[in-house]
Amino acid sequence: MTIAVFPGSFDPLTNGHLDLITRASRLFDQLIVAVGQNTAKQGVFTPAERVAFIEQSIPDLPNVTVRVETGLTVAFMRQCHATVLVRGLRNSVDFEYEQGIAGMNHHLDAHIETVCLMANPQYQFVSSSLLREVAKFGGNLTTLVPVPVARALVKRLGSDEQ
C-alpha cells in the first residue's frame, strides 16, 4: 500500500488545494493531508479550524485523512509510514522552491519520493496573500475557496468600511 502525504499550511484552504487533494487521492492508496504552520507567515486560522475546513470539504474521499503536523515533514512521514510527498506547482517560481525542498527531504531520508502535480489552470493565480487581500475588502471568493472558508475569511478579515 502506498501512503502519500500532502503537506501545507492550507491557510486558507482553496479550491486549488481541493483539486490537488482529489487528484492525489486517485493516485495513492492512502493520502494524508498534513496541516502545518508556515513559520514565515502570520496565520489567519488555527490548525484545528483548517483541519475542520478540509474535513468538511472531502466527505466523499474515504482514503484521505487530515492531521496536524508539527516539525519536519520527513519525520511526520516516517511516523505515518508514508513514502511519497505530494506537492502542487502553479508556476516556475513554485518549481524552483519545491526543487530545493525535495532535495533537502531526499537528503534527510532517501526513501522519500516527491511527486509534483501541476495546478489546474483555473487556480494557478490563486495565493493565500491574494485571497486575504480580496477578503479584507469584501471581494467575492466563492469560486476560489469553499463557501464556509469564504465566509470565515470575510468575517475574520473583512474591513468595517464595506
Residues at the binding site are 9-10, 17, 41, 73, 87-90, 98, 123-129
Burial class, 100, CB count within 10 angstroms (exposed 0-12 / middle 13-18 / buried 19+): exposed
Determine whether 23 is an active site residue.
no
Out of 25, 50, 57, 128, pick the active-site residue: 128
Q: Which of 67, 78, 90, 151 is catalytic?
A: 90
Question: How many CA within 13 A on the CB side of residue 35?
Answer: 21
Q: How far is CA 24 from CA 2, 27, 116, 153, 157, in A?
A: 12, 5, 10, 26, 31
Does 156 qualify as catalytic in the annotation? no
Is residue 106 flagged as an active site residue?
no
| Residues annotated within a binding site for substrate | 9, 41, 73, 87
Catalytic residue among 17, 25, 50, 57: 17
**For residue 143, with 0-12 CB atoms within 10 Å meaning exposed, 13-18 middle and 19 or more buried, which class applies?**
exposed
Q: Which residues contact 109 (CB under 8 A, 6 or more apart)?
A: 74, 77, 78
41 is catalytic: yes
Active-site residue set:
17, 41, 90, 128
